Structure formats: structure tokens, C-alpha cells
Amino acid sequence: MTTKTIPQVKGDFFLGNLRQFKVNPFQTFCDWHRDYGDLVNFRLATRQFYLFSHPQLVELALIKQSHNFVKPYNPEKPTALALVSRQGLVTSQGDLWRKQRRLMQPIFQRSNLISMLPQMILAGNNLLQRWEQLGDGAQVNLASEMMHLTLEIITQTMFSTSVLDRIAEIEPALRIGIKYASQTQANPLIPPLCIPTPANQEFKRAMALLDDIMYGMIEQHRSQSTPQHDLLTMLLNARDENGEAMSDRQIRDEVITIFIAGHETTANLLTWTLYLLAKHPDVLEKLRTELREHLQGGIPDAETLQKLVYTRAVLNESLRIRPPANTIIRKIVQDTEIDGYPLKAGRLAVFSIYNIHHHPDYWPEPEKFDPDRFLTTENRRFAFMPFGTGERICIGNHFAMLESQLLLSMILQNYDVQLLNNDEVEVEMAVTMRPKGGIPVQLKRR
């Protein structure tokens, strides 16, 4: 087989491509795909990366050579999201990950998720009541509203109602942690945590607060005589094949992981979906027609949610256009070859979900918001992967879709969400893909 050459992005001698990447990581990945192709070599100071942007390369790497592409986790020197979630399901690897996945998979089965609909509905109603108190025509930041909403839901479903009064503390602590994690991933020159910079000290305070809340809730749940029906109780009751339970430290890591994955990504999905619907009134009207037909102004139950086919198509198209989890990162553990391209051990492979979701070979008019794409039975296994792919596909994908369908139907039946600025919203890539600065909107009661 003829060996192919991987294009190298032009950059500085010392910093490589760090300067251009730091300005706008999201746009930089788009530009490199356009200018250099589906597989690109780039460098951020001392770290070497490959950028993958083609569905076929995803299959060859993450499925057929998954043993060569592993999670880059070092418990002695964690970086990126592992600084926050440590050895939770998203960041752990090897035997620990397999054990935790087996333990937690039953928790996210459909029957358990359906039992959590009342908590989701309660949080949705709290949002609608809050908006009603603001008055018709109120202006809000849509991204902030959705973040608060999904954080309330994950708090309700994780802890029942025990720490709802502490959301005001949890929210900024999580935001600080996620932002710091993103910066360490993008910039290897950030001082290590042992150096007391202002950013490091702020991160440590945020983590101490989260640890205090999480360990406190674990202790409280263990001592309760009447068990709660929530995610934390299910984690406490989970047993492996030897009958062993998780340690408090492991439960803490999984709770933090579920918190981040369970509210950050869903909040961004709802924000981008409402934004795209506001810019496409024809799609919005078609969606509302389906809601009128099946709900008639009511709140859907689990059976009715299954009938909201176009609602799911809208959410899927939003996930394609603006995937909240925008990248998958793996470490190459030995020299290998993908489609004739030689890859070196020790380098990091970045799979750009955004580039894959917009690849013109698979998506006609990729920038067009067209939910009808998802009303067909076409197989898009590797061209559409908002929750990842392979054995490490997101364990909470059904939770996210159930929650998003429910909340979207509740919001759209009660409010028109009107944009205050019709300019294209800039994308910010910080672990998740979010609207930079949020999205200011005006609320009109229906």
C-alpha cells in the first residue's frame, strides 16, 4: 500500500499552531478542514495532534482500531475534563471504565428514565412560572435560562430535592471547572495546579465547594432510612459481579460526570434548537402543528413523546448543525496506519464532530437547517454521532433526548422566543459548543 502524507498546518517554530488556535478553536478546526482536508497534522507548543474530519476515518480508528485509540487519562497528572470529573465514566479507561460502564448501564434503562419525567416536568413548570412572573415581553439570556433549567433537572433527578437551594453555588463552580478544564486542554503552557496563580486558586476553590456538596449528599443518602428514587440512590445500590459497591470517591466522580454531561450538553442543545427555530419560522410552524395534534396544549407522557417524530427530527438536526459535544479526543498508543496514513504513537487524535456533521460528501447543503433529513431511514452511523460512537457512546443519550423533547414541547406551547439580534451567533468551544456570550431573546406569551 502506498503511504499517504498527512498535511501539516503551517505555524510558528516554537508555538506551532497555538496562537491561531487560541483565538477561535472552533473556527480554526473548520478552516483547517477546508484548507488541508480530512486528516490534518497540527501542533500546540509541545503537543502533537491529528485532526480527523471524515466519517470513514472515524470508523477505521474508533471501531476497527479502538485498541490503538484510547482515552488520554493519567491519574497521576490529569488534564482537561479529568481535572474535574477525575475517574468518572467520561474520562476513565481500561478495566475501571468497563467495570463502571457495566455497573451504570442499568441505571439509564428506559424504565428508570421514564420514572424521572415528573421531576423534569416540575423543573419545566418552574421555568414557565418564572417567565410568567417576568411579564410579557421580558428579555432574557436564552443560554443562561436553559443552563439553569437543565441544572435544576439534573439536581432533581440526581438528589431528589435535597440541594435545589444550592444551585446558585453549584452553577458557577461547575462553570469555573469546565472553563479551566478547556483551557488546559487547549494550552499546554498553562502553569500546573501546584503553582498558586489566581486561575489555579479559583479552580481549587470551585472544586472544594463541589466536593463538599457531593460528599455531603453521599453521606446524607447513606444515612437515610427511607430510600429516595433518584440517580444517586441507584449509584449507591449498584453492585458488581462480586457484590461490591462503589467507593465514595468513585461515586463522587460519577456524580460530577453526570452533572456536567447531564446539564451542560442538554442546555446547549435546547439553546441552539430554540435559536435555529427562531431563525426558521417555517420549521417552527411545522413543529407546532405536530405538538397541537398530539398534545393539544398538554404535557406529554412517555407514550406521547414517542409519537413526536418531527420534534425528534428537529432536535437531531440541531445536534447535527451545532453538536454540543464537538470533539472526541484519543491518544494513539502505538504506531499504526489508517487508510494509508501513518500515525505516530503518543500523539493525540481529535475527531471533529462538527466537521463530520457538515461533510459535503454526506450532507447536501450542510449549512441548511432541514429536519426532514431525519425523517428517512438512511443509515448515517458515522456521519451523525452527536453522542459519540463505539463502545464509549454516551450512556446518557436517551436521558438527554427524553428531557429535550419534553422541555421543548413545554416551552413552545407557551412561548414565542424572539431573537433580539438577527446576526449569526458566534460559537465558543469550551468542552461543549456554546453560543459565545449567550443569546438575548424576548419572551412572548402564547
Q: Please give the pLDDT value at position 2.
A: 62
Tell me if 391 sits within 8 A of 66, measured CB to CB: yes
Average pLDDT over residues 407-413: 98
* pLDDT exceeds cutoff 90 at 171: no
Q: Please give the pLDDT value at position 163.
A: 67
Over residues 278-315, the pLDDT tens digits come to: 999 999 999 999 999 999 999 999 999 999 999 999 99
User: Percentage of the chain with pLDDT > 90?
Assistant: 77
Check residues 170 and 382 and name the one with the higher pLDDT. 382
Over residues 210-253, the pLDDT tens digits come to: 999 999 989 988 888 777 788 999 999 999 888 999 999 999 99
pLDDT band, residue 73 (cuts 50/70/90) = confident
Domain 1-77+326-381 has CATH 3.30.43.20: yes
Average pLDDT over residues 425-442: 93
Grid cell in block for residue 253: 466522580
Nearest CA-CA partner of 154 in 270, 264, 256, 262? 262
Average pLDDT over residues 355-377: 96
First to last CA, the chain: 63
Tell me if 220 sits within 8 A of 162, measured CB to CB: yes
Q: Please give the pLDDT value at position 418.
A: 98
pLDDT band, residue 164 (cuts 50/70/90) = low
**Region label for 3, one of left (φ > 0), alpha (ψ between -120 and 50) or beta (otherwise):** beta
The lowest-confidence range among 10-24, 72-86, 231-245 is 72-86
Q: Please give the pLDDT value at position 286.
A: 98
Q: Please give the pLDDT value at position 229.
A: 82
The lowest-confidence range among 5-14, 17-26, 174-183, 263-272 is 174-183
Average pLDDT over residues 348-355: 98
Grid cell in block for residue 115: 420514572
Q: What is the 3-state secondary structure (H, E, C) of 211-222?
A: HHHHHHHHHHHH
Q: Tell me what the pLDDT averaged over the chain comes to.
A: 93
Average pLDDT over residues 37-59: 96
Q: Please give the pLDDT value at position 161.
A: 62
Identify the bridge partners of residue 42 per DSSP, sorted by sequence position.
49
Which amino acid makes up residue 166? R
Report pTM. 0.95
Highest mean pLDDT among 76-85, 156-165, 284-293: 284-293
Q: Please give the pLDDT value at position 156.
A: 87
pLDDT band, residue 261 (cuts 50/70/90) = confident
Average pLDDT over residues 102-108: 92
What is the domain partition of the chain in residue ranges?
A: 1-77+326-381
Q: Please give the pLDDT value at position 352.
A: 98
Q: Please give the pLDDT value at position 224.
A: 82
User: Percentage of the chain with pLDDT > 70?
Assistant: 99
Tell me if 260 sits within 8 A of 84, measured CB to CB: yes
